Amino acid sequence: METPEISDEQREMLHQKLQELRVELQAILADGTRTATVDLDLPIGRLSRVDALQQQAMAEAERRRAELRLKAVEAALEFVEEGDYGFCKACGENMPFGRLNARPETPLCVSCLQAHERR
């Protein structure tokens, strides 16, 4: 069964969602306090230092995820402007509104994503 193309109303709602997501991700990336470097010369206990290093590593991972997701959001916003939004970039088929609503920046339908992950 072929997936219907998203409506203009749905497309506008998803466009708004992408714009809001871009602002949110930019705010995360602008917040330098999340990735503060651990000062190894501070006289804190060993467990506190390990905890601080773990927190730093988690913050850096969150930042990398935000950077990657922001790139995907920017690409999706370009697709909206070009009129190519809502189509799988691998197979060209319409993507279901539910998938786009859950992850508006996604470039692949579920089938193509699963095929890509199997490789």
Q: What's the pLDDT tens digit per position in 31-45?
A: 866 555 655 555 666
**Percent of the chain surpassing pLDDT 90:** 69
Of the CA atoms within 13 Å of residue 97, those in its CB half-sphere come to 12
Q: Which domains does the chain have, with CATH numbers?
A: 8-118 (1.20.120.910)
The whole-model pTM stands at 0.79
CB 2 within 8 A of CB 94: yes
Q: Is 86 exposed, middle or buried (0-12, 13-18, 19+ CB in 10 A)?
A: buried
Report residue 100: phi and psi, to 5°. -70, -35
> Confidence band (pLDDT; 50, 70, 90) for 3?
confident
pLDDT attached to residue 119: 86
* Helix and strand totals (H; E) in the chain: 4, 0
Residues 6+ apart with CB under 8 A from 52: 38, 44
